Amino acid sequence: MNPTLQRDGVTIIKGELPKVSEQIHSETVDFLLLNNILEHVFQDLDVLVASHRVLKSGGLLYINVPSWLGKRFLEYSAFRLSLSSPEEMMDHKKYYDPKDLWPIIVKAGFNPINIKIKKTKFRLNTTAIVRK
């Protein structure tokens, strides 16, 4: 089975981060979406370094992660109300407020002036839009 799917100009590569990013050539990606990804990996800095490497100059990185306040609501939803997957919540390694996420993005090589970060979804998530 080929873990790569290509359709309508979009390439999807299945695999675990950050290792799977080695299949992507440097500075070839226009847009990278990390939606509810970073909280599931221990190597968040490695994922962001890989993101910086594969993005073209001017490329855009979108990050969405649960905040520390979101942690409480997600766990309540999963463990008390059974409205979401307990397994997914138990897989969370980290939570991020802007003050937690911003330094990691900078350490990965992104210019601080190109980072827009804020709490979203009633402060339950942290969202960053980063231009390389």
CATH number of residue 14's parent domain: 3.40.50.150
Alpha-carbon torsion angle 96, 101, 103, 108, nearest 10 = 130
The Cα–Cα gap between 87 and 132 comes to 34
* pTM, rounded to two decimals: 0.90
Q: How many domains does the chain have?
A: 1
CA angle 80/83/89 to nearest 5° reads: 75
Give the pLDDT score at 42.
Answer: 94
Q: How far is CA 105 from CA 12, 48, 61, in A?
A: 24, 7, 10
Which residues span the domain enclosing 109?
4-131
Greatest alpha-carbon span in the chain: 45
- 46 vs 9, which has greater pLDDT? 46
pLDDT classification of 3: cutoffs 50, 70, 90: low
pLDDT classification of 1: cutoffs 50, 70, 90: very low
Contacts of 14 (CB under 8 A, 6+ apart): 3, 4, 5, 20
Question: Amino acid identity, residue 128?
Answer: A
Report pLDDT digits (tens) over 7-39: 787 778 888 888 999 999 999 999 999 999 999
Give the pLDDT score at 4.
Answer: 66
Report pLDDT digits (tens) over 47-95: 999 999 999 999 999 999 999 999 999 999 999 999 989 998 999 999 9
Q: Do the strands 115-120 and 29-35 form a parallel or antiparallel pair, or are they unpaired? A: unpaired
